[in-house]
Amino acid sequence: MNDSFLLDGEDIPFTPGQTVMQAAAAAGKYIPHLCWHPDFAAHGSCKLCTVKIGGRFATSCTVRAAAGQEVENRTDELDAKRRTLLQLLFVEGNHFCPSCEKSGDCALQATAYEMGMLTPHFDHFYPDRPVDASHPDVLLEFNRCILCELCVRASREVDGKNVFALAGRGTRSHLVVNSDSGRLADTDFTASDRAAAVCPVGVILKKRLGFTVPIGARTYDLNPISAMGANAGQQADSRANAAHEKEVG
Amino acid sequence: MATAELEDILERHRRDPLRLLQILIELQARDGWLPPATLSAVATALGLPRARVESTASFYSFLHTHPAGDYRILFSDNITDRMLGNMALMQALCGKLWLEPGKVSEDGLVSVATTSCTGMCDQGPALLANGRTITRLAPERIDEMAHLIRRRVPVGDWPPEWFHVEDNIRRRDVLLDHGLAPGQALAVALDRGATSILGEIERSALRGRGGAGFGSDIKWRSCRDAWGDAHYVICNADEGEPGTFKDRVLLASYFDLVVDGMCIAGMAIGANKGFIYLRGEYRYLLDRLETRLAQRREQGLLGRNILGCGFTFDIEIHLGAGAYICGEESALIESLEGKPGKPRIRPPFPVTNGYRGQPTTVNNVETLALAALIAVRGGEWFRAIGTPASTGTKLLSVSGDVERPGIYEFPFGVTMAEVLDAAGACDTQAVTSAGAAGHCLAADEFGRRIAFEDVATGGSIMVFDASRDMFEVARNFAHFFAHESCGFCTPCRVGTAVNARLMDKLAADHGSPYDLDEMAKMHRLMQGASHCGLGNTATIAIDDIVAKFRPAFERRLHSPEYEPAFDLDAALSQARRMTGRDDPGAHLGDNLEALAEERAHARDAAKPAPSSAAESAPSKDLQP
C-alpha cells in the first residue's frame, strides 16, 4: 500500500523521502512556486510554496511528506499571502512586464496572474542594477532577478562551471558573475549551458531570440501556470532551448 | 598588499577554504578594505570560484569591498545609544571632519557611519574605530578624536582609557558567585564520566540561555547519538541581540568557566574539537581569550590528554564580522565554514548535520557556563533554583532609563518590576523583554515573571521612561532588522525593508492608519512564512509597540485616509520652475482639497453606506 496525504482534501500518494512539493507535482497538482525546480535540490527561499500542514505554516518544497498529513494549499488565506509575496518581489526589483521580452514565458508574471495579483500595491524600491550585455550570446538583465539561485545551482551542478553566485545581504543581495571583471563575457559561460535556460524570470536572456515566438503564443499565454503542474518551468525552458537550436541549427 | 604578506596569511590558515572568512577578516584589518585583486588572489589560493569569495566578502558589515577610509568609524546605533545622544555626536564628528555620514572623505582618510548594537549599552554611546571598541562617548572625546584622525594618529595610540570596558555586575547569584577554580568543574566531570554528566544535565532541566530555551540534555544526547566522523561543540558568542551584553561579561571575567563548560560538553557528546564564534564587535577580547587558552593548554586544562585523563579537546576561536543573523545556529555554522551566514534548511538540524555536515551542538555562552556549574553542584541543586519549568538563574543585561545599568543575575521567576526596582528605574513606560526581537511590555505588565513559561528572554532588558517616544523605538528596531535580514527569503528580505520605509513615511508626517495596517499585514506574513527565527521575530516588538503605545503613532497620522510617501505638490515644483509658472493652476494643493471636498460630498450623498471603507479600499492599490 502506498503512503498518502491529503492536499486540499485530495489524496496524494508519495514515496518515502519525497517532499510535499515533489509528491504534489508527481500527482499533477500545482503548488505555486518560483525557486523550486524538479531537477534541482530545493532552495526554500521564495516562500511562494508555503502551505499549512496541521494548521502550521510550512515550506512545501523542503518539508517531507508524511502519511495522513492534511495539507492546505490553494486556500484564500494562503493565496493572499502568496499575492503579498509576489507584490514584494515585484516592487523590490524593476519588473516592467509590457517591455520585457520574457513576458509570456515568465514564471513570476504567470504566477502573479494565477494568484490574481492586480497591482504591485507597495511603493517601488527602484533599485539601480546595471545590465551586463558583454557576452556575445546572452544578456544579463539584473533588474528582474528574484534571487532564486536556479542559475547558481544549474551552473554548479549541471554545467560544472560556477558562473553565478549571490552576493550582498538583505535587499542588497544581488547576482554576481564569476570573473575578475565581474562580466559574463569573461567567463566560460555559453548559451547552451543549462544555466542559460533555467531562469524563471527575465534575467538570463539569449540574444536575438527575444521575439522569435510572438507575444500571445508563448508558454503561459497558452495555458495558465497552474495547468502545467511541475512542468511549468521545464516547458518554458524547452521552448527557449528549441528556439536556440533553431537559431544555431 | 605585498604578495609575501598575503602568502603568510594564507599559509597560517593552511589555505583552507573553510577559513575564508577568517582570512578576509585579517586582510580587511591590514588593508582597510578588500580590493578586487585581493579577492581574486584569495580565490585562486583557496581553489574557490571568485564569485564565492565575493559572496562572503560582501555579506558581512565589517568587510568592505570598496575603499572605506584609513579610519573607519562606526557608531553603535542601538536605541539605547540613540537615547544617550549618539546621533548628535556622530553629526559633530562628521562636521569636524567635513564628512557626510556613510561616505568616505575626498582624501580617502576617514568614513563615519552607523552599525548595529555593539553590546556596550550599559556604557554607551559607543563606537568602533577600525574595529576597536570605544565606550562612554562624550563631546570632548569626539573633538579629540577628530584631531587624532586629522593628525593621522593610529587608533592603537589613542588614549587607552577610551577603550576601557566595564563589567558593571550589579547582582550576583550562583553563576556570577560560582567560586570555582579554573578547571575544577572539568576535573569533576572527567572523574564522573559522560553518562553521569548527561544525567546531571537532565536532572537540572537546564534550558538554552540564548532565548529559545531548548532542553540542553536533549540537544547533547541527540548529538552524542548521531553518527559522524567527528563531533563538534560550538560556543555561540555572537551576542547580537540589541541590548544584550552578558556574554561579553562572561567571556571577559568568567572565561574559564565557559571553557570548562565547552570541554564538558565535548566529553558528553564525544567531541574533540570546539569553536568559539566570537562576534566581530568583541574583537577586543580576542587576544586575551587566545592567551588564556594557551595558558590552559600549558596547565593541562585544554588540548591533548586533559588533566591526564586521556581526554583530548581543543578550542579555536573564529571571529564574526558584523552579521546579527549569525546568532542563528545554522547561519553561524555556515559562517564558521567561511560562507555568508544564511540559515540552512532544517531539518536536518545541526545536532546531526552541523559543522562540515557532522553532529554539532551549538550552545550559548551562558548555557555552557551553567553546565560547568551543574557538573560540580549537581542537577538537583540547580533544579531547586528558579521555577519548575525554568530552572536556575538568568543573566539579564539591563540598559536604558535606569540608574544602574549592567548585569543582573536573578533566579527565573523574578518579576519585571523587581528587576526594574533593582536597576533603579523610575517612571517606566515600557521595557523590551528580549531585545528588538521579543515582546515589549507596558507598565501594566511589569508584574509578569521572567521565565520560559511567561516572559521568555535571552536577557536583553531595555528600559524606556515616560519621556521616551516609543515610535522612535519601533523605528530603530525596524531599521535594525532591515539592515540585518540576510536576504535569503522573500518575506523577511523585502518585508523588513517595507516596514523600515513605512516607519520613515510616518516619521516624515506622511502617515495614515493605512500604514499601520500595512505593518500589521507584514507582521502576519513574516510570522510563519519566514525561513528562520530572524524573520519570525522581527515584527514582534514593533507590533507590540504599535498596539500598546498607539498614541505615539497616532499623532503622526496626518490624514485619516491613504497618504502617498511623497509630497505631490513638491514633486511639481521642478516643472513649475521650468515653465516659469506659479499660478494656482500650477499647484496641486487646491485641486486636491477641492477633490477631497467633492469626495466628501459624494460620500454624504451616498449615506447611509456602511461599506464605504470597503469601497475605498481598492483605490489604495491604485496609488503610485
B111-128 pLDDT per residue, tens:
999 999 999 999 999 999
8 Å CB contact between A79 and A64? no
Could you tell me how far CA B113 lies from the centroid of its own chain?
17
Looking up cell 521642478 gives B574
Q: Above 60 in pLDDT, residue A151?
A: yes
Model's pTM, two decimal places?
0.93
Contact residues, chain B, for A45 at CB < 8 Å: 488-490, 531
Q: What is the pLDDT of residues B144-191, one digit of tens each?
A: 999 999 999 999 999 999 999 999 999 999 999 999 999 999 999 999
pLDDT tens string A105-145: 999 999 999 999 999 999 999 999 999 999 999 999 999 99
Q: Is B72 helix (H, G, I), strand (E, B) or coil?
A: strand
User: How far, in Å, CA of B21 to CA of B320, rounded?
Assistant: 8
Domains in chain A (CATH in brackets) are 4-74 (3.10.20.740), 97-248 (3.30.70.20)
Q: What is the pLDDT of residue B617?
A: 38
Counting one residue from chain A and one from chain B, the pairs whose CB atoms sit within 8 A come to: 120
Mean pLDDT of B239-260: 98
Q: How confident is the model at residue B10 (pLDDT cuts 50, 70, 90)?
A: very high
The angle subtended at Cα A35 by Cα A31 and Cα A41, nearest 5°, is 95
By the CB < 8 Å criterion, does B47 face chain A?
no
**Reported confidence tier of residue B583, pLDDT bands at 50, 70, 90:** confident
Residue B214 distance to chain A (closest CA, Å): 20
Looking at the DSSP bridge assignments, the partners of residue B127 are: B75, B134
Collapse the DSSP code of B419 into the 3-class scheme (helix H, G, I; strand E, B; otherwise coil) and give the result.
helix
- Smallest CA–CA distance from A62 into chain B, residue: B345
Q: In the prediction, which pLDDT does B620 show?
A: 38
Alpha helices in chain A (DSSP H): 20-26, 76-92, 107-114, 150-153, 219-222, 232-248
Report the C-alpha gap between B275 and B279 in whole angstroms. 12
Work out the angle between the directed axes of helices B365-377 and B255-269 (0-180°, nearest 10).
80
Compute the distance between CA of residue B18 and CA of residue B227 in angstroms, rounded to an integer.
22
Q: List phi, psi (to 5°) of B557.
A: -95, 110
- Answer for the pair B63, B320: CB distance below 8 angstroms, yes or no: no
* pLDDT number for residue B121: 97
For the domain bounded by B393-465, which CATH number is listed? 3.10.20.600
Classify strands A10-14 and B169-171 as parallel, antiparallel or unpaired: unpaired
pLDDT (0 to 100) of residue B529: 96
* Mean pLDDT of all residues in A71-99: 97
Q: Of B593 and B565, which is predicted with more confidence?
A: B565
Could you say which of 3.40.30.10, 3.30.360.10, 1.20.58.480, 3.40.50.720 is the CATH number of the domain covering B71-166? 3.40.30.10
Return the domain boundaries, chain B.
Answer: 3-57, 71-166, 170-383, 393-465, 470-554, 570-610
- Strand B303-306 relative to strand B311-319, pairing: antiparallel
Three cell numbers, residue B312: 583530548
Q: What confidence score (pLDDT) does residue B609 get?
A: 44
CATH 2.60.260.20 fits B470-554, yes or no: no
Which of B51, B340, B486 lies nearest to residue A164, judging by beta carbons? B51
Confidence at residue B585, expressed as pLDDT on a 0 to 100 scale: 80
> Are A31 and A51 a contacting pair, CB within 8 Å?
yes
Closest alpha carbon within chain A to B536: A57
**Ranges A156-160, A220-224, B580-584, B617-621: which has the least confidence:** B617-621
Distance CA B438, CA B441 (A): 10
Name every chain B residue with its beta carbon within 8 A of the beta carbon of A146: 490
Q: Is A160 in the B-facing interface, judged by CB distances under 8 Å?
A: no
What is the DSSP secondary-structure string of B442-476? EGGGTT-BBSTTSB--SSEEEEEETTS-HHHHHHH
Least Cα separation, residue A155 to chain B (angstroms): 12
Distances (CA, A) of B132 to B67, B318, B324: 18, 17, 18
- Reported as a pLDDT band with limits 50, 70 and 90, residue B591 is low
Q: Are B385 and B392 in contact (CB under 8 A)?
A: yes
Is A112 within 8 Å of A89 (Cβ atoms)?
A: no
Same topology, domains B393-465 and B470-554? Answer is no
Quickly tell me which residue has 520613515 as its cell: B504
B209 Cα distance to chain centroid: 15
Evaluate if residue B89 carries a pLDDT over 80. yes
CATH number, span B170-383: 3.40.50.11540
| A107/A239 Cα distance (integer angstroms) | 13
ipTM here: 0.95
How much of chain B exceeds pLDDT 70, in percent? Answer: 94
Interface check A173 vs B, CB under 8 A: yes
Residue that the C-alpha cell 496525504 belongs to: A5
